[in-house]
Amino acid sequence: MSDKDIEMLIELAKLKLEEAKHMSKKEAILSLNKAGILTKRGKLMKVYDKLEEAENQPGFMYDVRPQRFVIETEEEYDQALKRYEKVKRSKKSSEEHKEKQLLVLLISEYEKTHSNLPEVNPIELIKIRMENFGYKYSDLVEEYGDKGTVSKVLNYKQALSLTMIRKFSELLHIPASALIKEYQLAE
């Protein structure tokens, strides 16, 4: 392989890696694998020894994980929520689990400073957030696990339990403090 071929390969890799910045890690590895730059395990192809040397050059971007910064706009907030939905069930100690933990912190901080939650009782707040996120009753049942209890809570016949508060707070991105407020149960 000539030096010119290697330079072209490096330029192709830079272009593909730049595109990969806007993908999930899995999508990026698949894309770079199809381009012949990475193996299925995310390692540089061994036949490109010179490419491995090039990864230390300025501007060569090998880490394809999305970068996370403080969320400042509604658009960034929406993107963070979408990404959270993709990684929320990741296995502990995985890179995606670490990303999930970071997203929770960033989303929570944004919501604290930009909170526009209405002053309503916790059940109405749950219903509003379900509508905001497009969730249905069945989504709450799937998250909590007990159809009857979820029904009773949503119909004001039973108070929210601590477990429900934790699970619904995470699912609906509602601060737990908003769900522990007292409210009147139906008689």
Query: Cα–Cα distance between 116 and 11 in angstroms, integer?
Result: 46
Q: Which two tokens stand for residue 147?
A: 């159809």
Query: Cα–Cα distance between 21 and 31 in angstroms, integer?
Result: 11
Say if CB 105 and CB 112 are below 8 A apart. Answer: no
Q: Is it the case that residue 51 has pLDDT exceeding 60?
A: no
pLDDT of the residue at 88: 81
pLDDT of the residue at 45: 54
Q: pTM of whole model > 0.85? A: no
What are 35-48's pLDDT values in tens digits?
Answer: 666 555 555 554 44
Task: Compute the CA torsion angle 25, 31, 34, 39 (nearest 10 deg).
Answer: -20
Q: Which two tokens stand for residue 61?
A: 């971007």
Q: Report the 10 Å Cβ neighbour count for 37.
A: 20
Q: Name the pLDDT band for 145 (thresholds 50, 70, 90).
A: confident
Question: Of 45-54, 92-101, 131-140, 169-178, which range is least confident?
Answer: 45-54
pLDDT of the residue at 122: 92
Mean pLDDT of 38-62: 50
Q: Is it the case that residue 141 has pLDDT exceeding 80?
A: yes
Mean pLDDT of 173-185: 88
Q: Report the 10 Å Cβ neighbour count for 32.
A: 23
